[in-house]
Amino acid sequence: MQFCIAIVIQLLLFGSQRDVKAQQVTNVLTVRNNWKTGKWGFLWFCPTGYAKGFKLKVEPYQGSFRDDSSLNGISLLCSDGKVISSTVGMYGNWSKEILCKSGFLTAFALRVSPYKLFYDNTGANNIKFRCTNGDELEGTGHPWGKYTPWSDSCTGRGICGIQTKMDNEVAIMDRTQLNNVQFFCCR
């Protein structure tokens, strides 16, 4: 119920393409990663169709005694040719597109470093997706941390929306950027 209320409020406030898919959401894919910091960004949907691939925005390794933010953004490549993203951090570069050979993205796992006091914390570092044809696609992020267990799979046809949890606060000593993500499935 809370999810439906949040979608309705967001649609009333921001409208546009989001209302095309909001009524067709079948389930929300999440993983547990224990990162509490950050704020959920805007929810975006493919105008029509489903996500057939993705690309990542990753800050390169900064070296010893320098701060790394690692994963800064995830873009979904929609089957209608559109590219969508939720909130994106300011560091790093976009990777090349990674696409399902056939079908759509249908589940994910997130590589996350646990919070450590007096260490360089990065939050999320990489992601992998499962396609409807069974293929697994891994992003070009960093190898730090461990992957979460796989999310549930879409009960609809495929992933059609994204919302990221970003810690965009300007920190003096330690900044993370993308700390969590959830994906929306449509019929």
Interatomic CA distance for residues 91 and 36, integer angstroms = 21
* C-alpha distances in Å from residue 81, one per residue of 2, 10, 24, 37, 167: 31, 24, 20, 33, 29
* Residue in 142, 108, 112 with CA at minimum distance from that of residue 38: 112
pLDDT at 66 over 60: no
Q: How confident is the model at residue 18 (pLDDT cuts 50, 70, 90)?
A: very low
Polymer length of the chain: 187
Domains recognised in the chain with CATH numbers: 2-186 (2.100.10.20)
State the average pLDDT over residues 63-72: 65
Per DSSP, helices labelled H in the chain are 2-14, 18-22
- Mean pLDDT estimate for the chain: 81
